[in-house]
Amino acid sequence: MPPEISVVIPSYNRSALLKRAIDSALTQTAPPREVIVVDDGSTDSTRELCAGYGNQIKYVWQKNAGASAARNAGVIRARSPWIAFLDSDDYWTPFHLATMTKAIEQTDGEAGFYFSDMQMSERKGCASLWKLANFAPPKSVHLTNDGTSWAFLRWQPMVLQASVFRRDVWVGEGGLDPRFRLKHDTDLFFRLSISRKVCAVSGVSCIYGDGDSDIRLTTALHPSKAGYWEESILLLRGVLSRFPNLSPRYKRIARWNLASAHCGLFRLYWASRNVWKSVRHLRMSGLADPRFALLLLTRRADANRPVIVPEYD
């Protein structure tokens, strides 16, 4: 019997796009067991739109708490051993769940999660995420015993919208950390990839909907904002504390990136003439990685950034 999959779609004030996402989930060639839409306190017509689907979907409303809390709420209510996520402004190709189901069956469900490629724009000719990450597994269904190198790539090749998770693994890890607004998925993929089995499934099966980029978190929280770097610092400190036995190679990369994040705040605060905070983060940068601080002074930090290539065992 093929594995059963529940679909979780969080949404907040995106009724104009939500229908496309729901329809792409309901019209899969391998239908999901259920489609759960978690309305994160929308004030638009999301409730009315979902009501129009009747019992085809399960509608859950919650007071606005953010995308992480909405996804976690969907998992709690899901009845299947596998969970697939889709954002309300993205959509799947018709064969997404069928492809992931075959991969799970082929590998006896050994991985904690399975992920495929994602087209980064609706516009034709836009590179896929895997191309941007220079990620090219030698097999169409590639199970690795240790996803550490994949998680540490400059561009992680996995995203929630193109992934299917074992529900027990998600719950066991506590799901998404609601402290993160932007990097909640990056944090999760570190936790579920380091020294753990992960499976990459070739092919683009999710399309990034870019028609409403003005309300994407990637535009609301980016390197010109302090929040972006603060989340990076929280993320990297968490990796270093949670995985004290990281190999020296990956520990060095985490420390380098931590120093770089503190440097990002140093530059922002210096530009705003907040001398005390800028000096504080310059000091924290040096404490995180003295080598980075030295290269920063000689203006060679970017040229000496550690390079990670994906390993395929």
Report the pLDDT value the prediction gives residue 205, as an integer from 0 to 100.
Answer: 95
Tens digit of each residue's pLDDT (9 = 90 or more) over 185-241:
999 999 999 999 999 999 999 999 865 544 444 445 678 899 999 999 999 999 999
Section 57-66 average pLDDT: 96
| Cα 286 from Cα 235, distance rounded (Å) | 18
Count Cβ neighbours within 10 Å for each residue of 68-87 and write b for 16 or more, e otherwise.
Answer: bbbbbbbbeebeebbbbbbb
- At the top level of CATH, which class does the domain 5-219 belong to? alpha beta
Q: What is the mean pLDDT of the chain?
A: 92
Section 279-304 average pLDDT: 80
Residues 6+ apart with CB under 8 A from 302: none
Residue 163: burial class (beta carbons within 10 Å; 0-12, 13-18, 19+): buried
Report the pLDDT value the prediction gives residue 120, as an integer from 0 to 100.
Answer: 87
Q: Can you give the residue ranges of every domain in the chain?
A: 5-219, 222-304
pLDDT at position 305 over 80 = no
Tens digit of each residue's pLDDT (9 = 90 or more) over 104-163:
999 999 999 999 999 987 765 678 999 999 999 999 999 999 999 999 999 999 999 999
* Upper half-sphere CA count for residue 96 (Cβ side, 13 Å): 32
Q: Comparing C-alpha atoms, which of 85, 33, 38 is closest to residue 59?
A: 38
Q: How confident is the model at residue 66 (pLDDT cuts 50, 70, 90)?
A: very high
Specify whether the CB–CB gap between 72 and 156 falls below 8 A.
no
Tens digit of each residue's pLDDT (9 = 90 or more) over 158-181:
999 999 999 999 999 999 999 998
Q: How confident is the model at residue 258 (pLDDT cuts 50, 70, 90)?
A: very high
The pTM (predicted TM-score) of the whole model is: 0.93
